[in-house]
Amino acid sequence: MSIAAIRTLRGRAWQIYEQMGMPTPQQEDWKYTDLGRINAALGDNWWKPAVPERSIPSLGADQLEALAIPDLDAWIAVFIDGRFQAALSDLPEGIDFAPLMRLVIDRPEQAASMLEVDKRMPLFNGFVAVNSALATDGGVLLLKANTVLDRPLLIRHIATRSGTAHIRHSIRLKERAEAHIVEHYCGIGEAAGLTNTVCQIDLAAGSRMRHDRIQMEQPCHYHIGRLSVTQARDSQFESHSVALGAALSRVDLSVELAGPGAACALNGLYLIDGRRHADHHTVIDHAVPHCTSREHYRGVLDDRARGVFNGKVVIREGAIKSDTAQSNANLLLSPFAEVDAKPELMIYNDDVKAAHGCTVGRLDTRQLFYLRARGLTEADARQVLTFAFADEVLASLKPAPLRRFVEHAAFSRLFHEEDAEEMLT
Amino acid sequence: MSEAVKLKPTPRSFAATQYAAGFVTEIEQETLPPGLNEDVIRRISAMKGEPEWLLDWRLEAYRHWRTKREPRWSMVRYPPIDYQAISYYSTPRRKGDGPKSLDEVDPKLLETYEKLGIPLREQEMLAGVAVDAVFDSVSVATTFKEKLKEAGVIFCSISEAVRDHPDLVRQYLGSVVPITDNFYAALNSAVFTDGSFVYVPKGVRCPMELSTYFRINASNTGQFERTLIIADDDAYVSYLEGCTAPSRDENQLHAAVVELIALNHARIKYSTVQNWYPGDENGVGGIYNFVTKRGDCRGVGAKISWTQVETGSAITWKYPSCILRGDDSVGEFYSVALTKNYQQADTGTKMVHLGRNTHSTIVSKGISAGHGCQSYRGLVRMAKSAENARNHSQCDSLLIGDRCSAHTFPYVEIKNPTATMEHEASTSKIGEDQLFYCRQRGIPEEDAVNLIVNGFCKDVFNELPMEFAVEANRLLAVSLEGAVG
Amino acid sequence: MLKIENLHVAADGKEILSGIDLEIPLGEVHAIMGPNGSGKSTLANVIAGREDYTVVEGSVRWRGDDLLAMTAEERAWAGVFLAFQYPIEIPGVNNVYLLKAGLNAKRRAQGLTELDAMDFMALVREQASRIGLEEDFLARGVNEGFSGGEKKRNEIFQMTVLEPSLAILDETDSGLDIDALRVVAEGVNRLRDPERSIVMVTHYQRLLDHIVPDVVHVLIDGRIRMSGDKTLAHELEERGYDWVKAEVGGA
């Protein structure tokens, strides 16, 4: 295996993209998300990488500081416009971490297996193919059996210019390893750009991962993200996917429960305003018996924002004793906001426990009245209840500095800064 | 106290699981040769003596149909249908004009309906139910016409309505389901042959239940009926349809369109007991039931409620829907669907909220056994104008056996912040614990299954008119026999 | 009489009952006591015909009939009634309807005509009022949304309507307050009859103050370790089950 072989593989991936093109609303999985906005902002060559080869982006220390998560004690890997920044990163000694660019040179076989296009992947689309063809960099982490990463690994993605950052991460936990990964997406400036990330997670038997994905990119930015998780026997995966930023974002999260006893808990919050559009698609595949899945997504939509939630749970033939519960709740704050939800259950087996629920509503008038009777103004009462609604998802974020940071980012969007401060103390 | 020593389960013939309505009526029929083109449509129209405008409408629908493709998004699988191999018109042969009264109706036809438990002679009928009987492509009899006429209610076949009430038909036909709506609706508009027509004038409460019994008899024919029901201001009507067909090895197409229009404060209750031939235990034969049903609450405070019990058909594709246009209007959908053997059903509803304070309720109970495959597919859409709209949806699936499947696809599209909508769904099997409990109380296993299934469906059966609730119960019990084992 | 010989029962490959020998003559009330996990509930369920257990060896005969050869419903028709420890909820199925279906299936099996609806309702109303159940309770779904006490009362109500010849009460006293316990006990005592046997499976002797047993058996680790009269129950209450173990172990 050589670099030439990788080049061939990338060529094939590009051909697949050329055949498929960008998804359109005629496709069921893209019914409510029109990517015309990306074309309009970035042009037909939307995929052009943000950073040309060998050009090294740079950010001032104060700029970096302003985007940081205060007080979070974590290992850090920094990517600016899709390029790994070793000098800004702080990684523990002795763990197997390599940026994709190094991997391509040092271990081309491993890089090739990571970039291989698998069209059978749930929710496969042209963005994944483009990512395989053009991924500039990414983090490749392998935790050996029985190792526990002592602090969360914070992967910071900072977008500073126009063009697209194609990022490919791969995280593998061997038997009984444990890790907490935080993917943070943010940016500076007014340039319209696109983030196109693919993160593949492979959890071996008995391993455990917390995974938090915090997307708060600039209002002119676009975000296409994917998280594909495969879980072996008795592994555990708990995630939070929070969308607060970008003009348009779409996150595809798929979990394959491939070993008996595997369990996942997916939490999500889309809290957006302005003309933002946030789309979350999830697929939980119960492929084998005795697995458990929980899913809880909430949406708060203000102004002209539009939220899309599609959660599919598949229970295969033979996957007996599967246990799944899914809920999606939405709050519309403005007459121009919109939500489109589609919770799906596909069940091929009678020995299962499966339930889902979906609600769209306004704030409870009785609760509003109760608070007003206690002396709150109507506006304050609304804020308190909206806060409580969204915080159901954020309250389980750990550790405390991460929770505080995300709560602050979420609620300062909806409320006056000082109100948010007060509510969060 | 002495108890009988011989204790045996209640004798029960499992042969009863055969499809009881599966016989063929030997009757001379006039059938158009298979195939579809503009000439066939002209011939159908001419045979029915239709006015020019209706022929033009049919032709427009046909031309549109040719540009459309069969929908493929549903969870049903079947080999391609050759639309040129189907005959689009079949009628029992008759001499001269149509029968003036039941006395002139071919006794074989009356016998057919009697065998199905639907006596058409008024004195033998369930009191208070008027029936329109449609045999293959045509309506053969409508009962209690005179009594209904006294109340001002028009209840006749749609062919008669075209002839006798052309203005009403022209005003409303296609106003809920336009010819461009979907592939099957376009096909139906081009070739529909008969069906029922109901008009209930202002302020009239229809004095009896109205019902239509559809029977497919001829082979190689499709059935394309068209039903149009209009309830004028403050009117009320309850309407029920039943459907059966002979057991045949080939698949037959049934593509009906039903349009309901409820004006100010009018109420329409539409119930279906669908028992088309479902095919045999190996999935051979059976009806393809591809139906478009839609109600338009056009007036303020109007209410349309759909109740369906679906046990038949090899494949069901139908979504009885409500357009809640008028302020304060109400839409309801209550459904029990059973799929067993190799039956497939993709069914549900659409509730489109346009008016203020509109409410809708969806209760769907799906039972899947054997290799049955069932999907609930429902849409709740609340437009920007739907101030204070409300929906509650409850979709439950019951699975019997490990070869069947049940899917739930609710689509929720909300554009108004004052709207509220709740969707809940659950999937379960009949619990071993429940079965044991019933059996410990002395109830044999088959009966226990029926009991539990009926309990599961109760919310829907409660919505059916009394006589039909009993019928639905019985139908479900017969359909479930042998499904558990 | 109920005659159990050398009954060995396993579930999930584990032996739970290891050679039960038990005789309960007609007209007698026997209590089966034992610590948690001793196999009491298993015994009750095996007699009633639950299929989750494997009978490895032994026999269970009721008035000469081989119960183990019968299905659960056939046993019910033969007069066996199990008052469940955890009564099952069956949503949408009317309480009275369940009883009627059960009673009439039994009558059919016995070659009797079915009870007509009027007679049946009269019977049901009378029994319901005796056990202190409201009329609307009858029309509700089987145990659907019932409190713990209501469920237990419903079991006794069903028993009085079905008039079994062998009644097995599985932990019927658990979760009942003292008033409910009294009502339940009265219901059971009314059923005492020379032609009927009653088996009470219980952890505590509290119930036995209200329904006085003729014989008390102690079940430990899947075997009857000791039998005696009602005073044995009091002794167990005072000294616990370990005492029996020590006694038997020493013998």
CB A294 within 8 A of CB A393: no
**pLDDT tens across C26-68, in order?**
999 999 999 888 999 999 999 999 888 999 999 999 999 999 9
Q: Report residue A239 as tokens.
A: 């995630």
Identify the pLDDT of residue B3: 36
| Choice among A94-98, A361-365, B301-305 with the minimum mean pLDDT | A361-365
Determine the average pLDDT of the residues in A43-65.
81
Place of tokens 């409303």: B172
Q: Do B402 and A350 touch (CB under 8 A)?
A: yes
Judging contacts by C-beta atoms under 8 Å, the chain B residues touching residue A307 are none
- Per-residue pLDDT band at A52 (split at 50, 70, 90): low
Identify the pLDDT of residue B226: 94
| Domain enclosing residue A307, as ranges | 3-362
Mind giving me the DSSP string for B28-68? -EEEPPS--SHHHHHHHHHHTT--HHHHHHHHHHHHHHHH-
Residue C231 CA to residue C240 CA, distance in Å, equals 14
**Do A337 and A266 share a structural domain?**
yes
Determine the average pLDDT of the residues in B301-310.
95
Most confident residue range from A49-58, B216-225, B263-272, C90-99: B263-272
Q: Report residue B222 as tokens.
A: 């499709």
Q: What's the pTM value of the predicted model, to 2 decimals? A: 0.85
Count of alpha carbons within 13 Å of A127, Cβ hemisphere only? 30
Strand B303-310 versus strand B257-262 pairing type = unpaired
Q: Do A355 and B425 touch (CB under 8 A)?
A: yes
Q: Is C181 on the interface with B (CB under 8 A)?
A: no
* B409 min Cα distance to partner chain A (Å): 5
* Substitution target from B441, B461, B484 for chain C, most C beta carbons within 10 A: B441
CB A231 within 8 A of CB A265: no
Residue C26 CA to residue C194 CA, distance in Å, equals 6
**pLDDT tens across B313-355, in order?**
899 999 999 999 999 999 999 999 999 989 999 999 999 999 9
Between residues C88 and A130, which one has the greater pLDDT? A130
Determine the average pLDDT of the residues in B364-373.
92
Residue of C nearest to B445 (CA): C73
Judging contacts by C-beta atoms under 8 Å, the chain A residues touching residue B424 are 355-357
Identify the pLDDT of residue A308: 98
* Substitution target from B439, B450, B452, B473 for chain C, most C beta carbons within 10 A: B439
Q: Which residues contact A136 (CB under 8 A, 6 or more apart)?
A: A49, A51, A82, A83, A100, A101, A165, A166, A167
Mean pLDDT for all residues in chain C: 89
- B96 φψ region: left (φ > 0), alpha (ψ -120 to 50), beta (else): left
Q: Are chains C and B touching, using the cut-off of 8 Å on CB pairs and a minimum of 3 such pairs?
A: yes
Residue of B nearest to C85 (CA): B437
Q: Do A339 and B409 touch (CB under 8 A)?
A: no
CB B324 within 8 A of CB B357: no
Identify the pLDDT of residue B140: 65
**Do A402 and A337 share a structural domain?**
no
Residue C3 CA to residue A359 CA, distance in Å, equals 58
Identify the pLDDT of residue B285: 87
In the predicted model, is pLDDT for residue B11 greater than 50?
Answer: no
**Do A340 and A379 share a structural domain?**
no
In the predicted model, is pLDDT for residue A364 greater than 90?
Answer: no
Tell me, which fold does domain C2-248 have in CATH?
Answer: Rossmann fold (3.40.50)
Q: Which residues contact A150 (CB under 8 A, 6 or more apart)?
A: A92
Residues in chain C: 251
Strand-pair partners of A251: A225, A280
CB A163 within 8 A of CB A80: no
Strand A96-99 versus strand A139-143 pairing type = antiparallel
Identify the pLDDT of residue B111: 74
For chains B and C, count residue pairs whose Cβ atoms are closer than 8 Å. 110
Strand-pair partners of A230: A202, A256
- B146 φψ region: left (φ > 0), alpha (ψ -120 to 50), beta (else): alpha
In the predicted model, is pLDDT for residue A48 greater than 70?
Answer: yes
- Per-residue pLDDT band at B139 (split at 50, 70, 90): low
- Per-residue pLDDT band at C228 (split at 50, 70, 90): very high
Cis status, amide bond into A399, omega within 30 of 0: yes
Give the long-range contacts of residues B33-41, CB within 8 A, separation 24 or more.
Answer: B33/B87, B34/B84, B34/B85, B34/B86, B34/B87, B34/B220, B35/B84, B35/B85, B35/B87, B36/B62, B36/B83, B36/B84, B36/B86, B36/B88, B36/B190, B36/B191, B38/B62, B40/B88, B40/B89, B40/B191, B41/B190, B41/B191
Determine the average pLDDT of the residues in B448-456.
89
Determine the average pLDDT of the residues in A181-187.
97
Determine the average pLDDT of the residues in B53-69.
95
Between residues B114 and B221, which one has the greater pLDDT? B221
**Do A255 and A190 share a structural domain?**
yes
Identify the pLDDT of residue B94: 57
Determine the average pLDDT of the residues in C2-10.
96
Strand-pair partners of C66: C61
What burial letters (b/e) apply to B70-104, b meaning 16+ CB within 10 Å?
eeeebbbeeeeeebeebbbbbbbebeeeeeeeeee
Between residues B247 and B195, which one has the greater pLDDT? B195
Last residue of a domain, one of A316, A343, A362: A362
* Listed residue (A248, A184, A219, A189) closest to A63, CA to CA: A189
Judging contacts by C-beta atoms under 8 Å, the chain A residues touching residue B427 are 345, 347, 352-355
* Listed residue (B151, B130, B149) closest to B141, CA to CA: B130
Residue A188 CA to residue A161 CA, distance in Å, equals 8
Judging contacts by C-beta atoms under 8 Å, the chain B residues touching residue A337 are 415, 417
Determine the average pLDDT of the residues in A320-349.
93
**pLDDT tens across A212-244, in order?**
999 999 999 999 999 999 999 999 999 999 999
* Substitution target from B412, B435, B452, B484 for chain A, most A beta carbons within 10 A: B412
Place of tokens 């977008």: A159
Which segments of A67-185 does DSSP mark as H helices, in order? 100-106, 108-115, 126-134
Q: Do C101 and B440 touch (CB under 8 A)?
A: no
Q: How many helices (H) and strands (E) does chain C have?
A: 10, 12
**Do A129 and A73 share a structural domain?**
yes
Determine the average pLDDT of the residues in A22-50.
92
Strand A83-84 versus strand A75-80 pairing type = antiparallel
Q: Do A359 and B428 touch (CB under 8 A)?
A: no
CB A50 within 8 A of CB A165: yes
CB A240 within 8 A of CB A270: no
- A22 φψ region: left (φ > 0), alpha (ψ -120 to 50), beta (else): beta
In the predicted model, is pLDDT for residue A309 greater than 60?
Answer: yes
**Contacts with B, C 75-114, CB within 8 Å:** 75-82, 84, 87-88, 90-93, 97-99, 101-103, 105-106, 108-111
Judging contacts by C-beta atoms under 8 Å, the chain B residues touching residue C109 are 4, 7-10, 442
Which among A28, A344, A360 is the nearest to B414, CB-wise? A360
Judging contacts by C-beta atoms under 8 Å, the chain B residues touching residue A28 are 73
Determine the average pLDDT of the residues in B160-186.
95
Identify the pLDDT of residue B4: 33
Q: Report residue B102 as tokens.
A: 């039941």
- Based on C-alpha coordinates, what's the Rg of chain B? 22
Between residues B374 and B105, which one has the greater pLDDT? B374
* B391 min Cα distance to partner chain A (Å): 10
**Do A394 and A289 share a structural domain?**
no
Backbone phi and psi for residue B435, each to the nearest 5 degrees, phi listed first: -60, -45
Identify the pLDDT of residue A91: 94
Judging contacts by C-beta atoms under 8 Å, the chain B residues touching residue C91 are 455-456
Determine the average pLDDT of the residues in B243-259.
84
Between residues B23 and B396, which one has the greater pLDDT? B396
In the predicted model, is pLDDT for residue A1 greater than 70?
Answer: no
In the predicted model, is pLDDT for residue B36 greater than 70?
Answer: yes
Backbone phi and psi for residue A181, each to the nearest 5 degrees, phi listed first: -115, 135
Q: What is the dihedral of CA C153, C155, C160, C162, to 10 degrees?
A: 160
Q: Is C123 helix (H, G, I), strand (E, B) or coil?
A: helix
Residue B449 CA to residue C112 CA, distance in Å, equals 24
Calculate the alpha carbon distances from C40 to A84, C9, C83, C161, C199 in Å.
66, 12, 13, 25, 11
Q: Do C73 and B443 touch (CB under 8 A)?
A: yes
Place of tokens 């405070």: B301
- Amino acid, single-letter form, for residue C103: L
Identify the pLDDT of residue B103: 65
Residue C45 CA to residue C43 CA, distance in Å, equals 5
Determine the average pLDDT of the residues in B469-476.
80
Residue B431 CA to residue B436 CA, distance in Å, equals 9
Percent of chain B with pLDDT over 90: 51
Residue C56 CA to residue C40 CA, distance in Å, equals 17
Identify the pLDDT of residue C250: 45
* A308 min Cα distance to partner chain B (Å): 9
CB A49 within 8 A of CB A152: no
Q: Report residue C43 as tokens.
A: 């015994």
- Per-residue pLDDT band at C148 (split at 50, 70, 90): confident
Residue B301 CA to residue B299 CA, distance in Å, equals 6
**Do A319 and A335 share a structural domain?**
yes
**pLDDT tens across B441-450, in order?**
999 988 898 8
Residue of B nearest to C67 (CA): B7
* Listed residue (B421, B397, B419, B396) closest to B411, CA to CA: B421
Q: Do B452 and C93 touch (CB under 8 A)?
A: yes
Q: Report residue B78 as tokens.
A: 């079947």
**Contacts with C, B 404-433, CB within 8 Å:** 431-433
Domain count, chain A: 2
Calculate the alpha carbon distances from C197 to A104, C2, C29, C111, C192 in Å.
81, 8, 6, 24, 8
- Based on C-alpha coordinates, what's the Rg of chain C? 18
Q: List the Cα angle B364/B366/B371 in 5-degree steps.
A: 160
Strand-pair partners of B252: B287
Between residues B484 and A10, which one has the greater pLDDT? A10
Q: Do A353 and B384 touch (CB under 8 A)?
A: no
| Choice among A127-136, C116-125, C132-141 with the minimum mean pLDDT | C132-141
**Do A417 and A286 share a structural domain?**
no
* Listed residue (A356, A343, A354, A346) closest to A291, CA to CA: A354
- Per-residue pLDDT band at B118 (split at 50, 70, 90): low
Q: Do B423 and A343 touch (CB under 8 A)?
A: yes
Q: Is C139 on the interface with B (CB under 8 A)?
A: no
Q: Do A361 and B406 touch (CB under 8 A)?
A: no
Last residue of a domain, one of A314, A345, A362: A362
Determine the average pLDDT of the residues in A283-299.
96
* C88 min Cα distance to partner chain B (Å): 6
- Residue extents of the structural domains in chain C: 2-248
Which among C51, C77, C82 is the nearest to B7, CB-wise? C77
- Per-residue pLDDT band at B97 (split at 50, 70, 90): low
Residues in chain A: 425
Mean pLDDT for all residues in chain B: 85
In the predicted model, is pLDDT for residue C89 greater than 80?
Answer: yes
Identify the pLDDT of residue B13: 30
User: DSSP character for B334?
Assistant: E
Calculate the alpha carbon distances from A127 to A71, A194, C61, C103, C155 in Å.
35, 11, 71, 65, 62
In the predicted model, is pLDDT for residue A157 greater than 70?
Answer: yes
Q: Is B384 on the interface with C (CB under 8 A)?
A: no
